[in-house]
Amino acid sequence: MIELSVNEVANAVRGTITPGSRGESHVVGDCQIDSRKVRPGDLFIAIRGENHDGHDHIAAALAAGAVVAISEVDGEGARIVVTDTVAALGDLAQHVLATHGDVTVLAVTGSSGKTSTKDILGQILESAGSTVWPEGSFNNELGLPLTVLRIDAQTRYLVLEMGARGQGHIAALCTIAPPDIGLVLNVGSAHVGEFGTKERTAIAKGELIEALSVDGTAVLNSDDQYVAAMAARTRAPVRTFGSGTDAAVQVMDVLLDELARPTVTLRIDSEVRTIKLLLHGEHQAINAAAAAAAATAAGVPTSAVFEALAHVHPQSRWRMEVTETADSTTVVNDAYNANPESMTAALRALVAMGRKKTTWAVLGEMRELGDDSILAHDDIGRQAVRLGVDHLIGVGAATRPMVLGAASEGYYGGEAHFSPDIADARDYLSKHVSAGDVVLVKASRAGGLEVLAADVIAGHGGPLDESTGGST
């Protein structure tokens, strides 16, 4: 974080410094909302959450060395009192970014693939200059400003992931961090339960494009009709990516190896190269193209983008995290999030990894699908059969239509199994998965299925190489 005095922080958040504070003191560390992470020189912001209230931990934060706490209530110790600490967090991030004008802000949104793409983009940009990008999926009114506040005087690029739970959410995030480059990946079925239709989802995602100035760049997926139509909603120049010859960045060909790592023939404007990505799943090819389009829009030379793409690697936990165990079982932990599009992509990757091996799809609920939930789960079960997955395990009540769909489609011999809970699934997998099989574990985050992936790994001798975690 850029060094700020307590007085400057108070002015930025429109707060009142309490008598126990020293306005001339400086915050020289990071901004924290978890008191357990506070180190000397940090700033602590007390956030009221569903399960915890940060105000209960102000004393602990100050004792750990926080210079000052931003709080909604007066009390002992150094405090800046505001009416809304969440708003104050956003105001502080906005102030820091506005006073550090040399940073190019690239924002990524879409129904799926945001986290993987921002990780690819961050690594490309890091090869060209100091870059900050989010850990995991820090993409809401807390995570985004916390990411902004990680910039320092050397930061050249800032990559932000923007999520939305309703209309106006992305627009609000864009007021905190006005984007120079806006990247929209796709409009899919994720969160259709909140938005109602894909059309309404597109309206929300397009808020990013509407926030661009005439000097910015809109990076749009030409393969997605909803995204391509966003070109009419921006004053900025448009740069496209996709599989068609009209795209500025084109995915021309994709081949997968035995671990579903794609070798991609990619054209960036007039230059064509074939690159092997150290990522898993065919869908990573379009994510790489999207990142390449955004990076070149930010001024990174094409040759540097190609070079960086050959070295990008998975960064965020539980997203196509591949582990080979001591007995040659392959476990794919993709349990961080799930929607129909990402489920399909993961199943395709599973089949590619499972050539001449037995494949298991251990799938949990896809949340936030609204009235489409039953049909969507049914369709995923049927797709598993059509794609050639050998076994399907549905975990949790919402997956019963998935299991029934698979049975109706062709799993007549018990290849589909319904587990009402994680404990049942754990028991079933321990009895039926054999050495050398390939196991995919995927669900929406609330399902907590990452524990099943860990159990399978442990049950098959642990990672092949303990020093690296066995991941590739």
Are 175 and 79 in the same domain?
A: no
Are 373 and 438 in the same domain?
A: yes
For the segment 146-162, the average pLDDT, to the nearest whole number, is 96
Q: Measure the CA–CA gap between 384 and 440, rounded to whole angstroms.
A: 12
- Structure confidence by residue, pLDDT tens digits, 275-329: 999 998 899 999 999 999 999 999 999 999 999 999 998 887 777 899 999 999 9
Q: Measure the CA–CA gap between 48 and 45, rounded to whole angstroms.
A: 10
Are 247 and 359 in the same domain?
A: no
Whichever domain contains 32, its CATH number is: 3.40.1390.10
Residues in CB range of 456: below 8 A, 6 or more apart: 325, 329, 331, 429, 433, 439, 441
Helix 302-309 to helix 114-126 angle (10° resolution) is 120
Helix 6-13 to helix 85-98 angle (10° resolution) is 110
Residues in CB range of 104: below 8 A, 6 or more apart: 156, 157, 158, 180, 181, 298, 299
- Structure confidence by residue, pLDDT tens digits, 339-375: 898 899 999 999 999 988 999 999 999 987 888 899 9
* Structural domain of 423: 321-459
pLDDT given for residue 377 in this prediction: 96
Q: With respect to residue 179, please indicate whether it lies within any of the assigned structural domains.
A: yes
Rg (CA), the chain: 23
pLDDT given for residue 190 in this prediction: 61
Place of tokens 């070798």: 263
Residue finishing a domain among 309, 334, 359: 309
Mean pLDDT of the chain: 93
Q: What is the CA 34 to chain-centroid distance, rounded?
A: 21
Are 31 and 150 in the same domain?
A: no
Cα distance from N-terminal residue to C-terminal residue, the chain? 33
Select from 353, 331, 228 the least CA-distant residue to 282: 353
Q: With respect to residue 171, please indicate whether it lies within any of the assigned structural domains.
A: yes
Place of tokens 């109706």: 408
Residue finishing a domain among 83, 109, 132: 83
Q: Are strands 391-395 and 416-419 parallel, antiparallel or unpaired?
A: parallel
Q: What is the CA 219 to chain-centroid distance, rounded?
A: 18
pTM here is 0.85
CA angle 197, 202, 205 (to 5 degrees): 130
Are 253 and 119 in the same domain?
A: yes
For the segment 4-9, the average pLDDT, to the nearest whole number, is 96
Report the domain count for the chain.
3
More confident residue, 50 or 67: 67
Q: Measure the CA–CA gap between 142 and 165, rounded to whole angstroms.
A: 14
Between the CA of residue 462 and those of 143, 209, 425, 427, 434, what are the distances in Å? 33, 45, 19, 17, 14
pLDDT given for residue 193 in this prediction: 58
Whichever domain contains 242, its CATH number is: 3.40.1190.10
**Confidence grade of residue 468 (pLDDT, cut at 50, 70, 90):** very low
Residue 472 predicted with pLDDT over 50: no
Residue finishing a domain among 270, 287, 309: 309
Q: With respect to residue 233, please indicate whether it lies within any of the assigned structural domains.
A: yes
Are 266 and 361 in the same domain?
A: no
Q: Measure the CA–CA gap between 174 and 212, rounded to whole angstroms.
A: 9
Are 128 and 253 in the same domain?
A: yes
Q: With respect to residue 146, please indicate whether it lies within any of the assigned structural domains.
A: yes
Indicate the residue type of 470.
G
- Structure confidence by residue, pLDDT tens digits, 210-256: 999 999 999 999 999 999 999 999 999 999 999 999 999 999 999 99
Q: With respect to residue 465, please indicate whether it lies within any of the assigned structural domains.
A: no
Are 140 and 35 in the same domain?
A: no
- Burial of 299 from C-beta contacts in 10 A (0-12 / 13-18 / 19+): exposed
Whichever domain contains 438, its CATH number is: 3.90.190.20
pLDDT given for residue 433 in this prediction: 96
Tell me the DSSP string of 161-220. Answer: E---SSTTHHHHHHHHS--SEEEE----STTHHHHSSHHHHHHHHTHHHHT--TTSEEEE
Residues in CB range of 54: below 8 A, 6 or more apart: 33, 35, 44, 45, 46, 47, 48, 85
Q: With respect to residue 88, please indicate whether it lies within any of the assigned structural domains.
A: no
Q: Measure the CA–CA gap between 415 and 440, rounded to whole angstroms.
A: 15
Are 77 and 173 in the same domain?
A: no
CA-CA-CA-CA dihedral for 442, 444, 445, 447, to nearest 10: -80
- Structure confidence by residue, pLDDT tens digits, 438-463: 999 999 888 889 999 999 999 999 99
Place of tokens 């150290």: 278
Q: What is the CA 368 to chain-centroid distance, rounded?
A: 17
Are 148 and 216 in the same domain?
A: yes
Select from 257, 246, 304 the least CA-distant residue to 285: 257
Select from 366, 342, 331, 341 the least CA-distant residue to 436: 331
**Confidence grade of residue 469 (pLDDT, cut at 50, 70, 90):** very low
- Structure confidence by residue, pLDDT tens digits, 177-221: 999 999 999 998 766 656 778 899 999 999 999 999 999 999 999
Are 108 and 159 in the same domain?
A: yes
The SS3 call for residue 442 is: strand
- Structure confidence by residue, pLDDT tens digits, 383-414: 999 999 999 999 999 999 999 999 999 898 88
- Burial of 215 from C-beta contacts in 10 A (0-12 / 13-18 / 19+): exposed
Q: With respect to residue 315, please indicate whether it lies within any of the assigned structural domains.
A: no
Q: Measure the CA–CA gap between 61 and 40, rounded to whole angstroms.
A: 9
pLDDT given for residue 445 in this prediction: 80
Q: With respect to residue 177, please indicate whether it lies within any of the assigned structural domains.
A: yes
For the segment 251-279, the average pLDDT, to the nearest whole number, is 95
Are 71 and 115 in the same domain?
A: no
